Every structure is written in C-alpha cells, then in structure tokens.
Amino acid sequence: MNQDDSVPLAICSDHAGYELKEAVCDWLTEKNIPFINFGTYSPDSCDYADFAHPLADSVEEGECRCGIAICGSGEGVSMTVNKHQQIRGALCWKEDIARLARQHNDANVCCLPARFISRETAFRIIEIFLETEFEGGRHQTRIEKIPLTD
C-alpha cells in the first residue's frame, strides 16, 4: 500500500452503508486525511458494485493509496473489490482482523459491515488499518500467489 499520506484514500458505500460512510468522511475530514468519495451520495437503494469497482480501480491505478468500502454486511463490497487482480479486500469487523489483514495479507481495501459495527468501532478499525504495516517475509510469498496468472 502506498504509505504517502498526501495520496488520498478511496471510500464508497451502497445505501446500507451510506450513513456510516458519511460519518467516516466527517471523521477523515476532522483528522485531515484526504479522500475521494466514490459514492453513493444518498440513502436511496443502489447496487454496491457501481461504487466498489471505481474504488478498486482507483487503488489499482495508484490514484488512491487504499480503500474503505462499506455495505450492510461488508460481503458485497468485499466480493466486488476482490474481483480486481491487484486488490486484497478484507472484511474487517474487529480491530484484530484489521491488524492481521494488513500485517499478514497486505490488504489494501478495508471492507466494513455497517449493520454490525458501531461508528466508534469503524473509526478504530480504519485507524488500525491505516497505521499497520505489512510484515512481509514469509507472508510475501503467499501474497504473490493470490492473483490469477495465465
């Protein structure tokens, strides 16, 4: 993950994650962490893939250093971003999961289940996700085997 703090984060949600996404955007603004909001922009029913694919593209292309994708269960956005070869999206519902996703899996998208975690838990998970470094070493070989090859 690009650790340059001047490179923005990417954030998106569907309608079920909209309220939490807006709270996270406010929190990121308060912390002076730059981000690009890929939508949705209202609580009206929508399809998570319409927002998760552009988020994943921005991380793959280096426009954003990592992503935060939110839906009701976190599963839909996770499945979507993980269709991208250079994305390692992790469904994070506890602080320890976020820490291990970064340390061992070099996750570059944090997927949050809006219906199952509090705002405070989401903020702490994101903070840990952003602060934790990939350990490399024995984990690097495993990471290199994730993308499909021809």
Answer for the pair 145, 106: CB distance below 8 angstroms, yes or no: no
Dist. CA 66–CA 31, nearest whole Å:
16
Which of 15, 53, 104, 139 is the catalytic position? 104
Is 104 annotated in the active site? yes
Which residues are known to be catalytic? 104
